Amino acid sequence: MDEPLFGAPPVTVAPGAVHVPGWLDAPTQRSLLGHCRDWARGPAGTRHHTMPRGGRMSVSMTSLGWFWRPYSYSDRLPDGTAVQPFPDMLGELADRALTATLGRPSTGEEPPYDIALINFYDAHARMGMHQDRDEHADMPVVSLSLGDTCVFRFGNTETRTRPYTDVQLRSGDLFVFGGPARMAYHGVPRTFPDTAPSWLDLRGRLNITLRALGSP
Ligand SMILES: O=C(O)CCC(=O)C(=O)O
Ligand SMILES: [Fe+2]
């Protein structure tokens, strides 16, 4: 249960949605975790965003490239400082992820990956069913998981409810959703505390999504 399945084949969860268990090897997971800690210490810090109706999101979030808060992106933090840049390394990772799942990197013609949203889940955090619809480009969303295992609920494009598929995302897993799945509702109904690999110094779960903003 604790060791990721390195080298497992991709699993198509729905047309356009592909899960690759154990895609990131242990050194890469450790290195990404170190970067996430550095990014979280940056000017944007981590925030529990407030939703329009006043609820507070249980995940704490850091943005790179563009600052997200419900429900738009901006190039400045609320206090006017610039958002931390989107690192080239994450653009390269997004390309490798597209190749691993769709069989091709992005073409030079497509909007570039320029947003990373990093969510931290403690044992109680979860994320309700939603669509990722604040980007203007329809490039696939690339999701990387570190730390505790979670249930990732991947649904349909019409409703927040069934039909959906519950997938366990473990440390090192890649999940890409694009094409007909790009606007599917999805969420994280729970995590499994203390399931992070023992060699990763993380209590809780981190999820990094890489996205392309595109132009309006
Ligand atoms: O944590 C996850 O696996 C999903 C995160 C997500 O859906 C989002 O950041 O929009
Ligand atoms: Fe999402």
Distance 44 CA to ligand 1 centre (A): 19
pLDDT at 118: 98
Q: How far is ligand 2, taken at its centre, from the CA of residue 131, in Å? A: 6
- Give pLDDT, residue 5: 53
CA 18 to chain centroid, in Å, comes to 14
- DSSP-assigned letters across all residues of 50-87: BPTTS-B-SSEEEEESSEEETTEEESB-TTSPBPPPPP
One-letter-per-residue 3-state SS of 126-167: CEEEECCCCCCCCCCEEEEEEECEEEEEECCCCCCCCCCEEE
pLDDT of residue 1: 39
Question: What is the Å distance from ligand 1's center to 53 Cα?
Answer: 20
Q: How many CA atoms lie within 13 A of 54 on its CB side?
A: 0
Tell me the pLDDT tens digit for each residue of 165-185.
999 999 999 999 999 999 999
For residue 178, how many other CB atoms are within 10 A of its CB? Answer: 18
What is the structure's pLDDT at 6?
58
**Closest ligand to Cα 191:** 1
- Count of CA atoms in the C-beta half-sphere (13 A) of 126: 14
Ligand 1 neighbours, Cβ below 6 Å, are 117, 119, 127, 132, 143, 152, 169, 186, 188, 207, 209
Q: In the prediction, which pLDDT does 216 show?
A: 86
Q: Which residues of the chain have pLDDT under 70?
A: 1-7
Quote the distance between the C-alpha of residue 42 and its chain's center. 19
Task: Output the six-digit token pair for 161.
Answer: 């409810």
Rounded to two decimals, the pTM is: 0.96
Instruction: Tell me the C-alpha to C-alpha distance, in Å, between residue 108 and each of 93, 95, 101, 142.
Output: 15, 11, 18, 18
Model confidence pLDDT, tens digit, residues 34-62: 999 999 998 878 999 999 899 999 999 99
Going from N- to C-terminal start, the domains of the chain cover 58-102+113-206+208-216
pLDDT of residue 131: 98
Query: What is 58-102+113-206+208-216's CATH number, 3.40.50.970, 1.25.40.10, 2.60.120.590, 3.60.20.10?
Result: 2.60.120.590
Residue nearest to atom 7 of ligand 1 (CA): 187
ipTM value > 0.95: yes
Tokens for 135, please give them: 């980007």
Question: Rounded to an integer, what distance in angstroms lies between the CA atom of residue 169 and that of residue 21?
Answer: 8
